[in-house]
Amino acid sequence: MISSSIIKKSILSISILLIASTVAFSQHYSNNEYRRLSLSVSGGASLGDMNQGNYFMSSNFSVNTKDTPAFGLGVQYALTPAWSLELGYRHTQVKGRAIPFTSSVNLFTLKNFVNLNQLLFVNRISNRVNPFLTAGIGYDVVNYDGPDAAYDLHNASYNAGAGVAYRLTNTVDLFSQYEYHIGSNSIDNDDEGFGTDLINTLTFGVRINFGKKDAKLASWRDVPVDISPSEYDRFMTQSNLISNLEQRVEQVEKRDTDNEKLLTELKNEKEAEIDSLKNHISRLNERLSNLKMAFSELQDKIINGVEVDTATGLTESLPRGHYVQIFATQNLDIARDMREHTLQQLNGVIEQAEEKIFIIHRKEFYEVMIGLFKEFSHASDVQEVLKPIHEDAYVISFPRPLSLKADFEGLEVINTNKAEITVFNN
Residue 302 has what DSSP assignment? B
Taking the whole predicted model, whether its pTM rises above 0.85 is answered as no
Highest mean pLDDT pick, 196-205, 286-295, 315-324: 196-205
**pLDDT mean across residues, the chain:** 81
Question: Are 95 and 65 a contacting pair, CB within 8 Å?
Answer: yes
Banded pLDDT at 7 (limits 50, 70, 90): low
Residue 132: exposure state from Cβ atoms within 10 A (0-12, 13-18, ≥19)? buried
Q: CA dist 354 to 33, 48, 84, 278, 373, Å?
A: 91, 134, 106, 31, 15
C-alpha to C-alpha distance for 382 and 155, rounded to whole angstroms: 125
What is the pLDDT at residue 40? Answer: 97
Closest residue by Cα to residue 201 from 183, 176, 178? 178
What is the pLDDT at residue 217? Answer: 92
Long-range contact list for 24-33, CB < 8 A, 24+ apart?
25/79, 25/80, 25/82, 25/83, 26/79, 26/80, 28/80, 29/79, 29/80, 29/81, 29/218, 32/218, 33/212, 33/215
Closest residue by Cα to residue 420 from 404, 405, 403, 398? 398
The residue length of the chain stands at 426
Average the pLDDT over 318-326 and give the result: 87
pLDDT at 125 over 90: no
pLDDT at 15 over 70: no
pLDDT at 216 over 50: yes
What is the pLDDT at residue 426? Answer: 38
Average the pLDDT over 199-217 and give the result: 93
Average the pLDDT over 402-416 and give the result: 67
| Residue pLDDT, tens place only, 363-397 | 888 999 988 888 888 888 888 877 777 888 889 88
C-alpha to C-alpha distance for 398 and 421, rounded to whole angstroms: 9
Tally of CB atoms within 10 A around 85: 19
Average the pLDDT over 168-190 and give the result: 91
pLDDT at 355 over 70: yes
Banded pLDDT at 346 (limits 50, 70, 90): confident
Crossing angle, helix 376-386 and helix 229-298, to 10 degrees?
160
Tally of CB atoms within 10 A around 249: 10
Question: Are 88 and 71 a contacting pair, CB within 8 Å?
Answer: no
pLDDT at 228 over 90: no
What's CA 50's distance to the chain center, in Å? 69
pLDDT at 145 over 80: yes
